[in-house]
Chain A
Amino acid sequence: MTAQAAEAPPDGPGARGAAERERRTPGTRFLGPQRRSLWFWIFVGPFALGLALFTYVPLAWSVYLSFFDAHNTVTPTDFVGLGNYTSMLTDGAFLSSLGTFALFTLFIVPATYALSLALAVMVNRLRFAQAFFRSVFFLPTACSYVVAALIWKLSLFNGVRFGLANTVLGWFGADQTAWLSTTDPPWYWLVIVTVRLWLQAGFYMILFLAGLQRISPQLYEAAAVDGARPGWQTFRHITFPQLRATSVAVVLLLVINAFQAFDEFYNLLSDARGYPPYARPPLVYLYYTALGREQNLGLGSAGAVILALIIAVATVAQARWLGLGRKED
């Protein structure tokens, strides 16, 4: 680095003098030419510091806590080894929360994928008012999960006769249904899944639209010349394979989003007395264990570590399977 600075063409006697002075001062080696390293740390430092302070330290602390009986304290003394892990892994409620979460992911990922792709293909074929429909479908993305969950809970899917869903059912003479309180059949899934579909389908539609617009028209022309029928055949053999990169990104984002399931679950189903034992994803369960009145930070941390490991394994497996970052053929 210093050599490069010395070889740089001198702009004038003043500049050369400055460069030599800089080389002589102690610490120049650390600061680099034009104090680049200094500026690097000034710009990156606050972020890195924040990341370390607010992400890595709590992360490490959480792992530390998971080996202690830490009721109502973050500086525990009662070491319990793997006790928290065994009780978490034998806790039926935690295991069922993992099941809930798997079920939710299995449903929401394909459903959002299909819906947003269908929307994108439809909007892409529009000859007029395309911008309008693009905006209309995208708008829900701007709504917060909490607000949407409350609207779903209080006005669309409340259990009394004047809720929207029950009003519509009432026209056909059906009885009112308590959507969020009925476990047999599990109507609450309808509420949870529709709110998320409504919120996120528009965003992924935009991603797919961008992908669709990157497909060269010549491919379609060539396919038409070769006798491919427009519609399903073209979609199956031209559009869909060409969207591979977009699809991989969309699926990955969807899975990560599903891992983070908390907002709509919590706002739809929690009440002052806690949370019902169904549709309780792990984050909600751990939130109540560690941060609720129970304040069992050790057990909650153990659960968080287990969950983090599962997510890590799932992500790596998924990246392998989908070939994330692999060169396009």
Chain B
Amino acid sequence: MTGTGTGIGRRGLLAATGGLALTGLLAACGSNTGRGGGGSGPGISQWYHQYGEPGVERAVRRYADSYKKAQVTVQWRPGDYDRQTAAALLTDSGPDVFEVNGPTLDQIRGGQIVDLTAEVEPVKDDFNQAVLAPKIWQDRIWGIPQTIDTQLLYYRKSLLKDAGLEPPRTLDALVDAARKLTTKKTKGLFLGNDGGAGVLGGTPLFAAGLSLVTEDGKAGFDDPAAARTLGKIRRLYADKSLLLGAPTDWSDPAAFLQELTAMQWSGLWALPQIQQTFGDDFGVLPFPADGPHGAPAVPVGAYASAVSARSARKAEAKAFASWLWMERTDLQQDFALSYGFHIPARTSLAKKAARLRTGAAADAVRYATDHGHAEPLRWTTASRTAYQDALSHIIKDGASPESELRTVVRKVDAELARVRKR
């Protein structure tokens, strides 16, 4: 009897321990909802993607701490941020306020994002209109632009001078310059390791005087000029003027700094690093114009602050987003200019910024203002993927631009029809 008793006791103990461990595991799975406990006032969670520049994380935590009406917990999310937010927005445990490279049209149409029109309306005109436009759908504003990012063509003045070249003002001149600058050790131009299909996007089309989506909702590049321009990008690849397979991609100035390339297409954020290395021996250009109706072009875009529709504290979250990204212009200026190198989304702040008034930085701001094109909201991911695939076929495989573009136009028109209905 005693033997049986202890046997069951041991089993019972085992079962109990197992049960406990399981409960612990389940609890651990469910605990990290991102909402910090304690503190006064209702808690709000705010998400940021991981900025490369040192100090940004400390700064955004400081902003959140100085907000008195609610306890704001900042989550700094390394890794694939777009995918993380997309998944989190499907659940209740996502962020309340979050920055987003968008919001995308399907996020808005899917009711995942809260309307912020009332908050933005009072200072709507102070925002850079090019980057605000893609945040608007059916006359409602769905995100507050934080800072403007743009991309530029960086070139080494000395290398161009040695080759007897002027800074290229037309696409033909760029093709020509890239070929002449290519040597055994240094390539002429770096457009990213994929040959430019990813980073250039619609920029060559803008430079040819075309658009991605027309005002009346059609594909904006159903035009022989588009094929002609994209064919010239193919020329760059076929001439072997492009740097490919560099250890870092276009977003990092390392290839330019290591003199693997004489010219590189990169972000405005790379400017301080390039300035530090080359001093005055570099310049910036927009993507050069092509064709009779062409004009120089640079892409502009802004991460926006948005409020999740699944948030349990929508009113508080809206109030916080509006406090940080509308009221506190001092914090917005600090965020844009103290760490990395971005243009404030508010025109009034951009004008005040001393760092943006001299040298290459001033050129960059001018290009962004005069020649900036943002991807329209109706340019959905499916359209972008189709276009990017076609661009890659044109550049790398030498596929006929006309027939590739015909396929894309069909796909894009179908996408535009999809988002038009309902």
| B245 x A272 contact (CB < 8 A) | no
Question: B247 an interface residue at 8 Å Cβ cutoff?
Answer: yes
Expressed in whole angstroms, the Cα–Cα distance for A180 and B397 within the complex equals 14
Question: B180 an interface residue at 8 Å Cβ cutoff?
Answer: no
| B249 x A181 contact (CB < 8 A) | no
For chain B, the bracket of interface size reads 35 or more
Question: Out of B194, B388, B398, which one reaches A181, CB within 8 Å?
Answer: B194
Residue numbers in B under 8 Å from A18 (CB-CB)? 4
Question: A84 an interface residue at 8 Å Cβ cutoff?
Answer: no
| B245 x A179 contact (CB < 8 A) | yes
Residue numbers in B under 8 Å from A181 (CB-CB)? 193-195, 244-245, 396
| A71 x B109 contact (CB < 8 A) | yes
Expressed in whole angstroms, the Cα–Cα distance for A288 and B1 within the complex equals 64
Question: B389 an interface residue at 8 Å Cβ cutoff?
Answer: yes
Residue numbers in B under 8 Å from A296 (CB-CB)? 382
Interface set, chain B 216-250, CB cutoff 8 A to A: 243-247, 249
Expressed in whole angstroms, the Cα–Cα distance for A291 and B90 within the complex equals 12
Question: Out of B4, B195, B198, B260, which one reaches A272, CB within 8 Å?
Answer: B198
| A71 x B385 contact (CB < 8 A) | no
- Tell me how many residues of A have a C-beta within 8 Å of chain B: 40
Expressed in whole angstroms, the Cα–Cα distance for A301 and B347 within the complex equals 44
Residue numbers in B under 8 Å from A182 (CB-CB)? 244, 396
Residue numbers in A under 8 Å from B89 (CB-CB)? 72
Could you mark each residue 287-309 of chain A with 1 if its beta carbon is under 8 Å from any beta carbon of chain B, else 0? Answer: 01001111110000000000000
Nearest chain-A residue to B381 (Cβ)?
Answer: A294
| B243 x A71 contact (CB < 8 A) | no
Most buried by A among B15, B86, B194: B194
| B247 x A158 contact (CB < 8 A) | yes
Residue numbers in A under 8 Å from B195 (CB-CB)? 181
Question: A129 an interface residue at 8 Å Cβ cutoff?
Answer: no
Question: B110 an interface residue at 8 Å Cβ cutoff?
Answer: yes
Nearest chain-B residue to A87 (Cβ)?
Answer: B414
With A71-B110, A73-B110, A273-B194 given, is the CB distance from A158 to B251 under 8 Å? Answer: no
Question: B197 an interface residue at 8 Å Cβ cutoff?
Answer: yes
| B385 x A272 contact (CB < 8 A) | no
Q: Give the distance to chain B from A270, nearest Cβ to Cβ, in Å.
A: 10
Question: Out of B260, B380, B393, which one reaches A277, CB within 8 Å?
Answer: B393
| B110 x A159 contact (CB < 8 A) | no
| A contact residues vs B (CB 8 Å cutoff) | 14-15, 18, 42, 46, 71-74, 92-93, 154, 157-161, 163, 177-184, 271-274, 276-278, 288, 291-296
9 contacts between A and B (CB under 8 A): A46-B22, A72-B106, A160-B246, A181-B194, A273-B199, A274-B384, A277-B388, A292-B82, A295-B106
In the complex, besides A72-B104, A163-B245, 18 extra interface pairs with C-beta distance below 8 angstroms are A18-B4, A72-B90, A72-B110, A73-B90, A74-B90, A157-B245, A158-B245, A159-B245, A160-B245, A161-B185, A183-B397, A273-B192, A273-B194, A274-B198, A288-B385, A292-B381, A293-B104, A295-B381
Closest 6 CB pairs of A and B: A159-B245, A273-B198, A178-B244, A178-B245, A72-B110, A294-B381
